[in-house]
Amino acid sequence: MTAPTTAPARARTHPDWWQDAVIYQVYPRSFADSDGDGCGDLAGIRSRLGYLRELGVDALWISPFYTSPQADGGYDVADYRAVDPVYGTVGDADALITDAHALGLRVIVDVVPNHCSDQHPWFLQALREGSGSPLRARFHFRPGRGPGGEEPPNDWISLFGGPAWTRTTDPDGTPGEWYLHLFAPQQPDLNWDSTAVRDEFRSILRFWLDLGVDGFRIDVAHGLVKAPGLPDLGRHEQLGLLGEQLVPYFDQDGVHEIYRSWRTLLEEYPGQRIAVAEAWTKTLDRTARYVRPGELHQAFNFKFLNAPWDADGLRELIALSLASMHAVDAPTTWTLSNHDVIRHASRYAEGDPARGLRRARAAALLMLALPGSAYLYQGEELGLPEVTDIPDEVRQDPAFHRSDGGHGLRDGCRVPLPWSGTGAPYGFGPVPGGPAWLPQPAEWAELSVEAQTGDPRSVLELYRSALHVRRSNPALGAGRSVEWLDLAPGVLAFRRDSEAGALVCTVNTTGEPVRIAGGGLGALLLSSAEPQPAQSSGQVLLAADSTSWWQAG
């Protein structure tokens, strides 16, 4: 077990590293491929830790790299204590954690407790033993409804399309019970009423904590407990992948007891190990329940990710986010992208890629000026857009294939990163012209890390500067609130105060430049705008869709 040996070079305002940490999500399949098989791997991540350190983040969250048939990009785990050979070995994970710690980077890994793979030994054995086997109590097996049990046990629809139930065949070849899978049929839901399930996951957490990880991102954290009796939904519709509706399989009160026990377990380990919930809830108050004292450390704020680019709406949402988390004494988290959603440079574009990129740059500076912890998704620091022209035959999102292409376009945000060079795979793999598991657009030569490094106008250098300023300026990240400023319609502005000084953040969300009085703004620290805003005659022109940080007096 290792612990970070180098404290991140960051001005600290409180002892809890995670309260204002910037955490970088690595999607391992698409980050860096060390062996040239077209798939990223742990050795690839390890070889790029220096890049992450230099970028200025505090920690990495690595999406699943466990043994998996990859029916859902690794979110179908067959062995929670082993690394899939595609990604390496547990020894590689150990070496990665050790190296990261030596660089002052913490490492968070995914835990996938709502479901496992249909190739998990528990599920295979439960199938083999047939209806009535006590091992089936670890899952949700039920007889079907209607004559011959031919209808699913209830009306739930999988989030990836089609029924949330699949019928099994008994060992004697006759049609048997059905099992529940909120996601793909290859992802049977575990039954968290089972003591064996609860014990197993506590043991899995310990396995990775003993190896030295600094925490966990909990997949579908709101899904573990289902309403008693698995009642019908009453409507026959496919909910969005990560819907926020009130349904009998999400956000049930019973999940909190599980997280209280996990918190106790995390506290047994030295060095502030943390857990962050992926919990899509109807309201921020419901999200806050996951981070009450004695529960998890953080929960993703998906309302921010989904918020339109509009000053008034953003202000309302940010204020509500801060208030909701403050009420339970937890930090807010902020995130703009992840491996499940359209990259924000494209989401914000509304048909105009240049506008999308301007807004993406501005949104990054807004996010990094807010109190709390920020999650970055690999490639956003390069301004990568969503890839929309991936041929159907290479797409791997299970929802795509289960919905005839109507859903499941998540491969578009998972295209392997461009690191260097002028031709694919752009340094993603070791061999020029070598494979990448998804095709990379030709335009990505200009977006590579190499191409952007040293160009002060690049998105990469903007992120580097922003993270550098954030590390050295405690007015950013720390605290629980902001002081709102009313400067002009369409301009979101707030002030952050700390012992080390004050900072003002201005965000022009309009498509036009806005002139404001410059008094009180102070010196410009950083701006997403090109050219940078200048003050003249006491006035400042804020460029369209831009954010600026000012060192206030």
Task: Identify the CA nearest to 221 among candidates 186, 194, 191, 256.
Answer: 256
Contact 51, 60 (CB under 8 A): no
Q: For the chain, what percentages of helix, strand and coil (3-state, to nearest 5) are there?
A: 30, 20, 50
Q: Which two tokens stand for residue 361?
A: 């740059």
Spatial separation of the C-alpha atoms in residues 368 and 528, rounded to whole Å: 12
Q: Is 268 a catalytic residue?
A: yes
Spatial separation of the C-alpha atoms in residues 331 and 299, rounded to whole Å: 9
Closest CB to ligand NOJ among residues 101, 339? 339
Residues 6+ apart with CB under 8 A from 147: none
Closest CB to ligand NOJ among residues 72, 386? 72
Tell me the CA end-to-end span of the chain in Å, nearest whole number. 46
Task: Identify the CA nearest to 37 among candidates 430, 445, 441.
Answer: 430
Spatial separation of the C-alpha atoms in residues 236 and 155, rounded to whole Å: 7
Closest CB to ligand NOJ among residues 99, 340? 340
Closest CB to ligand NOJ among residues 155, 340? 340
Smallest gap from residue 242 Cβ to ligand NOJ (A): 7
Cβ-count burial of 290 within 10 angstroms (0-12 exposed, 13-18 middle, 19+ buried)?
A: buried
Of these residues, 219, 244, 295, 545, which one is catalytic? 219
Smallest gap from residue 532 Cβ to ligand NOJ (A): 37
Closest CB to ligand NOJ among residues 116, 552? 116
Contact 336, 386 (CB under 8 A): no
Closest CB to ligand NOJ among residues 151, 340? 340
Strands (E), 33-123: 59-62, 66-67, 79-83, 106-111
For every residue of 1-41, DSSP letters joined together read ----SS--S---SSS-GGGG-EEEEE-GGGT--SSSSSS--
Of these residues, 268, 392, 404, 443, which one is catalytic? 268
Three-state DSSP class for residue 45: helix
Smallest gap from residue 481 Cβ to ligand NOJ (A): 30
Q: Which amino acid is at 120?
A: H
Smallest gap from residue 347 Cβ to ligand NOJ (A): 17
121: number of Cβ within 10 Å: 11
Smallest gap from residue 336 Cβ to ligand NOJ (A): 15
Element (H, E) at 302: helix 302-306
Smallest gap from residue 187 Cβ to ligand NOJ (A): 7
Closest CB to ligand NOJ among residues 361, 407? 407
Spatial separation of the C-alpha atoms in residues 230 and 140, rounded to whole Å: 9
Interface residue list for ligand NOJ (CB under 6 A): 72, 75, 112, 183, 219-220, 278, 339-340
464: number of Cβ within 10 Å: 17
Residue number of the CB atom closest to ligand NOJ: 75
Smallest gap from residue 470 Cβ to ligand NOJ (A): 26
Cα 308 → chain centroid: 19
Smallest gap from residue 160 Cβ to ligand NOJ (A): 8
Closest CB to ligand NOJ among residues 39, 507? 39
Spatial separation of the C-alpha atoms in residues 421 and 338, rounded to whole Å: 26
Residue found under tokens 């995670």: 18
Residues assigned a catalytic role: 219, 268
